[in-house]
Structures are given as C-alpha cells and as structure tokens.
C-alpha cells in the first residue's frame, strides 16, 4: 500500500485572512483623510505597542530570552533618529529606517556580552546594558546630555501634515514588522525558534544550533525595537534619556505579551490592544490604574495561563499560516 | 545478522563522570565498529542513560575522551555532534509539545548535518513518521500523544536526522507482543543499511535478537562487553543485573 501525502501551510481560514488584512491596512492607510488628529496620535501609540509586544514575544516567547533590557534598543533607535535627522540633516523617514538598522548593528556585538549569561542573570544583564548605554548617552553633548534633545526635523511642517506623516510611518512600520514576523516564523529560523520554545535540549539534540538562532532573533528584534524607538521620538518630538531607556518599557512589554499569550504570533497583538485600551481608559485614575492593571494581569495569568489568545483559540487555529498540515492525497491498494 | 567493518567509528576511552557523590562513569572504555549494533544492559541507576548523554554531548565529561571518526567530540555541543551524524532518543520522551508530530520530525530532518532543501526535509519527515508507525498522527500536537506514541516520535525524530550512529534509550518498553517484532525489524533494517546502533534496553531477549555485542554496566563501571551469550553467562553480570534465575527467553 502506497500512500501519498501533501504538505501545506495554514488552514482555509488563513486563505481568507490575507484579504481581510490587506483591506484593513488599506482602510487604515486612508484614515488620516477622515480621522481627527487626536485619534491618529492614539493609533500611532497603539501601533508602537503592538510592534514592541511582537518583538519582545519573538525574543522571550520563542527564543526563550527573557530580557528586561530591550529599552536599550528603543533608546538607540530614538537617539539615532534624532541624530540622523537633525544633526546629519537626513530625510526623517530615511533616518527612521537607518535608526532601526543601527539598533540591529549595536545588538550584534552586545549579544556576545549578554549571551554569556543565562536565565535570571541574562535578564538582569540586559538591564545593566541598557543602563550603561543610557549613562553613556547622557555624557554626549550633541545628544543633549541628561536633559534630552528635541526633534527639529518636522518643525517646517504643519501639524496636520506632520501627524499624518508620522501616522503613515507607524502604519508602514507595523505592517513591515508583522509581515516580517510571519515570514520569519514560516522560515527555517522560525521552525528552529518554535522548537527551542518547546524544548531547548531536544532542539539541540536534533541539530538546532540554539545559540546561533538566539543570536539571530536577538539582532532581528533589535531592529524592530529600534524602529519603535524612532517612532516614539517622532511622535513625542523629543527624546529624554530617563524616559526612553526606562525599564517601564520592559514591564509593559511583559504585561502585554503575558496577558495576550506568550509564544504565539497573535497573542501579543491582542495583549497590546487590550493594554492600549486599559491605559487609555484608566490613566487618569493614578494609583488605581496600576492596581487594576496588576489585578487584571494576575486574573488572566491564573485563569488562562496561556493568555487571552490561548484561551480564545484553544490551540485549535491560528490567524497566520505558519502551521504545517499533512493530508493524504491518494491511496493505492496493493502489495 | 549484518556483518560490520573493522573500522572503529566511536572510541570511548577512560571516561569519568560523577553527579556530586554519585559516580556514573568510572573509567569506561570501549570501541564501537562502523555498522555494529551494541546493546547495553545494567541495573537501574547504573549510568546507562548518562553514557548516552556523554556521547551526544548533553552532559560534559569530567575526564576522558570520546573520539568519533578519528575526531574528538569533547568540545562539541549536542547540535554539532548531531551534524557529525549522532542521533538519539530519550528514555523520557522530550516532544515539542505544542508542535505537531510532523513539525517535530521536520525539525530533525531540516537541521541534520546533511544539507537538504525544504521539499527533501518534508519527504524525510513523512517517511520517518511512517516508519515509526505514527501515520495516524501527522497533525496531532505532540503533547497530546500517549507515552507509547511519544516513544515512537522519539524514534521518528532520530530517524529523520539520517544518522550514522543511533543511540536508543529504552524504546521497546511497553510495546505489545505484536508491536515489538515491528520495532525489532525497523532497527535490524536500519543496522543492515549501515547505521551503527547503540541500544539500551531492559527487554534482554529483544535486545540480543538484534545486537552483535552486549555490554553491561553497573555503578558506572563496565562489567562485561562481548558476544551476547557470553556476557549473559558472565557471573558478575548475573550477580549484578540478571539475577541467578535469569533465562533468555522469547525470540532470542
Ligand atoms: N543530571 C543529573 N544530576 C544528578 N544526578 C543525575 C543526573 N542524571 C542522572 N543522575 C543520577 O545518576 C545515576 C545514573 O543515572 P542514569 O539515568 O544514567 O541511570 P540508568 O542506568 O539509565 O538507569 P535506568 O535503567 O533507571 O534508566 C542515577 O543515580 C541518577 O539519579
Ligand atoms: Mg536510563
């Protein structure tokens, strides 16, 4: 008996969704024509949060690299943007792309430093690196020292045009990060990372070079963090060392990823959207805001340990075509 | 029984390993020839699984040498040893729980030493799964498999690495009388196709029906190594492992 099998990626659902996503992106692209400025600003914030959550999840949820120092690369991206756009006089959009790349370039040598550490030491080590980079930046006069630096590149532009331009940059950034994430998870690197996520020892035994794959993901997500940092600088029109290198970014990223669902592509997106609404609604309540956030985190983690997405999908389906499916195509009776 | 060459594929020399006070390898020395099938027996806690861990690099040696194809493995990570052609199964299965059976095995075929493209890797994975008898579970998350199927998955993943040496750690336990011969046939076939086998198993009659040589370890020491029938008659092996009323039954 000979059986023939076909190997495909994704489900029927995954065939429809790209159409919906494309429609969504197009709708979002024309929004500035119809949407009041404050809403555009809010969307930019939400896009940045989604990028951050997605990147932190690739690192921690798939790579197993629980870092609390990725604000290092957010900061590098933000400062690189201001430096390239204002000091070097580059087009700010080109500067944004370069800032992302520069952040990735910094990550490569730094990975050799932090990868000597593991587990909790790795987490603390990344934080220390972020603090050291901050202390270094504070010393640099061209970057404004301890009081920070303003972004002047948009000063010739009217408010409406500027906000729309930033909105489109953020939209392009989130589109590219999500698309790259999906392509990454469909690639060999994605297969390796998923295996590392589930069992690091078994992955190594099966020939997955755990260290090299982790380094690759560490550098790649740093590009994303740098991009987010650049966007933050653009939307705030100002970079301050204590804010941009703040460990709060790590706390927020952990919150979004854990409540959304660690180790899935969808989870962090949901987590980021939920977090966005929570902070938008609750930020005026002061301490209550933090208490409610904390209680909610605890509730979700104990009631649905796999996060909101795990609870919704019950591991039965995914929005993106990363899963493999084997189906039987023919069956010949015989010897 | 397939014959094998005289070339040493793997040389274990004077290896020592201890976990705290427990000595698990106390100067073990032996060679494995290319194409050979070597069985390992020994009481619980003897250091059998640890020996496989030392060979594939999951545990570092305290001292000694492991030479594979005239090259020392001592400084190589498990993944690098896999790329040299060493694959293994785990006594306690280590599935990628949230990945499907196919994806689990695809990891093995994709990241093996030989460069294969995606299509080839998929084909190797499909074939390994069929061979290990998991065809009904291609799309099942590995975490949902029963223990016996998890052991089959261990075998499928190891096969997908297309190894030169296959280290097997108690994969026959729990199989029924009709399933056991199928497994034995798979291992004989592999061995006949040139794959060197090192196999730990407590089901002695099954083991000796496949292996060329048998080795007994106890308390981290090599007690005896040689022709299966000789090792099974060795008085120390009987004393430390088999017990005096032991008889090789079944298919042996
Ligand atoms: N990583 C470890 N850390 C500490 N002790 C260990 C470790 N691995 C194994 N041991 C101990 O070393 C001894 C040998 O264990 P090993 O698993 O090699 O035995 P085994 O011969 O495979 O036994 P079994 O037949 O039960 O599988 C045992 O006492 C075990 O508890
Ligand atoms: Mg064992």
Residue linked to tokens 């020892």: A201
A207 φ/ψ angles, rounded to the nearest 5 degrees: 95, 5
Residues 6+ positions from A1 with CB-CB distance below 8 Å: A331, A332, A333, A334, A335
Give yes or no for residue B252 having a pLDDT over 50: no
For A15-24, B82-91, B221-230, which range has the lowest pLDDT when averaged over its residues? A15-24
Percent of chain A whose pLDDT exceeds 90 = 62
Which residue is associated with the tokens 């790590």?
A250
Asked whether this complex has an ipTM greater than 0.95, the answer is: no
Residue B140, burial from CB neighbour count under 10 angstroms (0-12, 13-18, 19+): middle
Question: By mean pLDDT, which of A72-76, A90-94, A318-322, B39-43 is the weakest?
Answer: A318-322
Over residues A304-333, the mean pLDDT reads 79
Chain B residues with CB inside 8 Å of A194's CB?
A: 96, 98-99, 103
Q: Tell me, yes or no, whether B184 lies in a domain.
A: no
Q: Which of A326, A327, A329, A330 to mutate to test the interface with B (most CBs of B within 10 A)?
A: A326
pLDDT, position A305: 82
Q: Which residues of B40-76 are buried (b: 16+ CB within 10 A; e: fewer)?
A: bbbbeebbbbbbbbbbbbbbebeebebbbeeeebeeb
Distance between terminal CA atoms of chain A?
6
Q: How many Å apart are CA B184 and CA B37, to the nearest integer?
A: 12
Give the pLDDT band of residue A99 (cuts 50, 70, 90).
very high
pLDDT digits (tens, 9 = 90+) for A238-249: 999 999 999 999
What pLDDT, on the 0 to 100 scale, is given for residue B251? 39
Of B94, B103, B113, the CB nearest to A202: B94
The tens digit of pLDDT for each residue in B186-207 reads 999 999 999 999 999 999 999 9
Token pair recorded at residue A27: 């709708």
Q: Are A215 and A192 in contact (CB under 8 A)?
A: no
What is residue B244's predicted lDDT score, i.e. its pLDDT? Answer: 61
Residue A3 has pLDDT above 80, yes or no: no
Task: Lowest mean pLDDT of A131-135, B78-82, B170-174, name the range.
Answer: B170-174
**At residue A286, what are phi and psi to the nearest 5 degrees?**
60, -125
Closest CA to B134 of A199, B142, B88, A315: B142
Average pLDDT, chain A: 90
Q: What is the pLDDT of residue A332?
A: 54
CA within 13 Å, CB half, A223? 16
pTM: 0.89
Per-residue confidence band for B247, with pLDDT thresholds at 50, 70 and 90: low
Mean pLDDT of B124-131: 94
Of A212, A218, A224, A215, residue with least CA distance to A180 = A224
Q: Is B92's C-beta closer than 6 angstroms to any atom of ligand 1?
A: no
Overall number of domains in chain B: 1
Ligand number with the minimum distance to the CA of B20:
1
Quickly tell me which residue has 């900061």 as its tokens.
A75
Tell me the mean pLDDT in the region A137-152: 90
Instruction: Say what the pLDDT of residue B179 is.
Output: 86
Pairwise CA distance, residues B127 & B135, whole Å:
9
Q: Is the pLDDT of residue B38 over 80?
A: yes
Q: Tell me the per-residue pLDDT of A211-270, one tens digit each, with 9 for 90 and over.
A: 999 999 999 999 999 999 999 999 999 999 999 999 999 999 999 999 999 888 999 999
Mean pLDDT along residues A161-187: 93
Residue A308 has pLDDT above 90, yes or no: no
- CB burial readout B198-232, b (16+ within 10 A) else e: bbbbebbebbbbbbbbbbbbbebbbbbbeebeebb
Res. A290: pLDDT tops 90:
no
Take residue B249 and report the two structure tokens written for it.
């039954």
Q: Which ligand is nearest to the CA of B202?
A: 1
Could you read off the pLDDT of B178-187 as tens digits, one per residue?
Answer: 889 888 999 9
User: Distance between alpha carbon B193 and the CA centroid of its chain, in Å?
Assistant: 16
For chain A, the domain total comes to: 1
Q: Report the C-alpha gap between B145 and B105 in whole angstroms.
A: 14
Mean pLDDT value across residues A3-29: 84
**Candidate from B15, B20, B21, B22 with most ligand 1 atoms within 8 A of CB, to mutate:** B22
Range with lowest mean pLDDT among A24-28, A191-195, B238-242: B238-242
CATH number for the domain spanning B223: value is 3.40.50.300
- Give the helix, strand, coil percentages of chain B, each rounded to 5: 35, 25, 40
CB–CB contact A315 B141 (8 Å): yes
Q: What confidence tier does B164 reach under pLDDT thresholds 50, 70, 90?
A: very high
Ligand 1 contact, B50 CB (< 6 A): yes
Confidence of residue A137 (pLDDT cuts 50, 70, 90): very high
Average pLDDT over residues A28-45: 89
pLDDT band, very low/low/confident/very high, at A10 (cuts 50, 70, 90): confident
| Cβ distance of B98 and A197 shorter than 8 Å | yes
pLDDT of residue B248: 63
The CATH number that applies at residue A78 is 1.10.3470
Domain assignment of residue A247, given as a range: 2-332
| Position in ligand 1 atom list of the atom nearest CA B48 | 21
- Could you tell me the residue range of the domain that residue B215 belongs to? 1-82+207-252
From the CB of residue B113, how many other CB atoms can be counted at a distance below 10 Å? 19
Kindly tell me if the per-residue pLDDT of A55 is higher than 90.
yes
What residue owns the CA closest to ligand 1's atom 29?
B45
pLDDT beyond 80 at A272: yes
> Pairing state of beta strands B196-200 and B165-169?
parallel
The answer as to whether B101 is a domain residue is no
What's the confidence (pLDDT) of residue A1?
45
pLDDT for residue A309 is more than 50: yes
For tokens 């985190």, name the residue: A297
B167 phi and psi, to 5 degrees? -100, 115
What's the confidence (pLDDT) of residue A293? Answer: 83
């Amino acid at each position: 008996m000979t059986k023939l099998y076909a190997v495909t990626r994704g489900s029927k659902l995954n065939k429809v969704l790209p159409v919906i996503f494309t429609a969504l992106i197009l709708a979002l692209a024309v929004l500035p024509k119809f949407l009041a400025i404050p809403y555009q600003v809010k969307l930019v914030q939400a896009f940045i949060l989604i990028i951050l959550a997605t990147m932190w999840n690739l690192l921690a949820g798939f790579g197993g690299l629980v870092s609390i120092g990725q604000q290092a690369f957010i900061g590098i991206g933000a400062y690189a943007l201001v430096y390239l756009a204002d000091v070097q006089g580059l087009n700010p959009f080109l500067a944004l792309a370069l800032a992302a790349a520069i952040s990735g370039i910094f990550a490569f040598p730094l990975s050799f430093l932090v990868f000597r550490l593991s587990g909790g030491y790795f987490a603390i080590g990344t934080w220390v690196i972020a603090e050291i980079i901050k202390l270094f930046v504070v010393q640099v006069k061209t970057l404004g020292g301890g009081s920070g630096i303003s972004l002047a590149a948009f000063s010739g532009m009217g408010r409406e045009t500027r906000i729309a331009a930033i909105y489109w940059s953020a939209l392009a950034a989130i589109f590219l990060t999500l698309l790259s994430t999906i392509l990454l998870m469909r690639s060999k690197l994605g297969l390796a990372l998923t295996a590392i996520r589930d069992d690091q020892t078994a992955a190594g035994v099966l020939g997955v070079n755990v260290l090299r794959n982790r380094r690759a993901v560490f550098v790649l997500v740093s590009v994303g963090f740098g991009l987010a940092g650049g966007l933050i600088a653009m939307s705030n029109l100002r970079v301050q060392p204590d804010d941009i290198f703040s460990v709060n970014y790590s706390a927020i990223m952990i919150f979004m990823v854990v409540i959304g669902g660690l180790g899935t592509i969808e989870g962090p997106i949901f987590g980021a959207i939920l977090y966005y609404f929570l902070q938008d609604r609750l930020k005026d309540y002061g301490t209550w805001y933090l208490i409610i956030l904390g209680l909610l985190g605890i509730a979700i983690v104990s009631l649905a340990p796999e996060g909101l997405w795990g609870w919704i999908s019950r591991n039965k389906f995914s929005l993106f075509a990363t899963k493999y499916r084997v189906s039987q195509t023919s069956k010949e009776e015989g010897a | 029984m397939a014959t094998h060459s005289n070339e040493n594929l793997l040389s274990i020399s004077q290896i020592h390993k201890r976990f705290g006070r427990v000595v698990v390898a106390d100067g073990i020395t032996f060679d494995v020839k290319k194409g050979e099938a070597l069985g390992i027996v020994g009481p619980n806690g003897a250091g059998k699984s640890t020996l496989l861990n030392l060979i594939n690099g999951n545990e570092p040696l305290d001292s000694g040498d492991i030479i594979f194809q005239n090259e020392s493995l001592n400084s190589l990570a498990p993944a690098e040893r896999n790329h040299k052609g060493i694959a293994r199964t785990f006594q306690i299965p280590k599935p990628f729980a949230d990945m499907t059976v196919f994806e689990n095995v695809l990891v093995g075929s994709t990241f093996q030493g030989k460069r294969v493209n995606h299509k080839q890797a998929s084909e190797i994975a499909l074939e390994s799964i069929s061979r290990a008898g998991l065809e009904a579970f291609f799309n099942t998350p590995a975490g949902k498999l029963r223990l016996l199927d998890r052991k089959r998955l261990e075998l499928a993943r190891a096969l997908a690495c297309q190894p030169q040496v296959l280290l097997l750690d108690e994969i026959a336990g729990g199989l029924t009388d009709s399933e056991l011969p199928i497994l034995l046939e798979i291992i004989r076939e592999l061995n006949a196709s040139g794959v060197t086998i090192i196999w730990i198993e407590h089901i002695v009659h099954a083991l000796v029906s496949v292996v060329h040589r048998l080795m007994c370890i106890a308390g981290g020491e090599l007690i005896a190594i040689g022709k299966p029938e000789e090792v099974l008659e060795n008085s120390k092996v009987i004393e430390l492992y088999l017990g005096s009323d032991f008889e090789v039954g079944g298919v042996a």
